[in-house]
Amino acid sequence: MPGTLETPVTKKSQLSDRSEDSCLGWHRSWGSVTRTCKADGMYLYPIGSSAAAMVCFLGLTWNCLPVLSQNLPHLSKVTSGGEFKQRPAWSPDGRYVCFARYEGNTIQLWLKNLESQKERRLTNRDTPEYDASWAPDGKRLVFCAVAQSPGQGNLDLCTVGVEDLTSRHLIGDNGKLSHEESPAWSPDGKQIAFTSTRDGNQEIYVMDPSGQNIKRVTQDPGLDAHPTWTPDGKHLLFATNRWGDFEIAAIDPQGAQIQRLTNQKGLDDYPVCSPDGRSIAFVSLRSGNFEVYLMPREGGSPTNISNNPGIDNFPSWTSHGDLSWISNREGDFSLYVLGTK
């Protein structure tokens, strides 16, 4: 089955008169990527790329979930506008933040200069793009791009320079249709981790920044998704459903040792390690609502950081060690930063 993480988007009780067919309709309306969805228990699950899933997610929950403002100390709003946004990525020098913004029937990457407060497109591509990750030197980003293929969207990985809008194709199909997603540049700049269905099941791989020397890291019938690196480059954090529910796990880049970090009913996803290597932020549905949690690097009891009735998702860390995430706590989907002072 092509695609990535099966993510619960909303409780069935919150769908009102919306049905599974309406979810399918949202997927089809995205155009380049056609997906399906299925009902399972209390939640409705989209099947496919994270970008397509978020379109379904947006369509089902925009007017369904309560949105209440909650004050957190030193919580700053970085972006504005109601468009759905995902996977913010902060530049190593702290000057920029890159994020994907849903616009109409597509999704595109935007770059915000935090000094001038100006935003611009990251590339000049016409097709959807999302999930960017910075090179350690801050000169280039790697991202997922939707290439046009007969009958469905084909997900490839590309790179682009910060000052150059022209993207360069990095990796795509290997003789048959496959989906390459969720790239993450290693701290030393020598490898890029990503997920792929090139061998049938969705697994985690690493490769050189040139797209060569591809090596498979995970070997499991379950789905493995959204890899990120620890700051020392010794481990990859990722989400996996190999134990049933989606949990957070860590594995070394050679695939020799795996460590389960969460063990709780409900989805845990999008893990990111703090710059000092001491904490992991992730999003969870364990409370029945999308919230951002924080736990020690080695696992343990997590703390709900966002604690808001709205949707809090896609945690990320700034280069200064501040935690950020996407939230609609004030009515629009925006990027927030939880500062330290």
Chain segment 198-242, per-residue pLDDT in tens: 888 999 999 999 999 999 999 999 999 999 999 999 999 999 999
List the strands of the sheet with 215-216, edge to edge.
180-185, 192-196, 203-207, 215-216
Chain segment 19-77, per-residue pLDDT in tens: 333 222 222 222 222 222 333 332 332 333 333 333 333 333 323 233 333 456 688 99
Number of other residues whose CB lies within 10 A of the CB of residue 86: 23
CA distances from 216 to 202, 204, 254 (A): 11, 6, 8
The three-class DSSP label of residue 63 is coil
Strand partners, 89: 98
* Residue 236, both tokens: 């990859």
Domain covering 75-338, topology: Neuraminidase (2.120.10)
- Per-domain residue ranges of the chain: 10-61, 75-338
What is the dihedral angle through the alpha carbons of 13, 18, 19, 21, rounded to the nearest 10 degrees? -150
Check: pTM over 0.85? Answer yes or no.
Answer: no
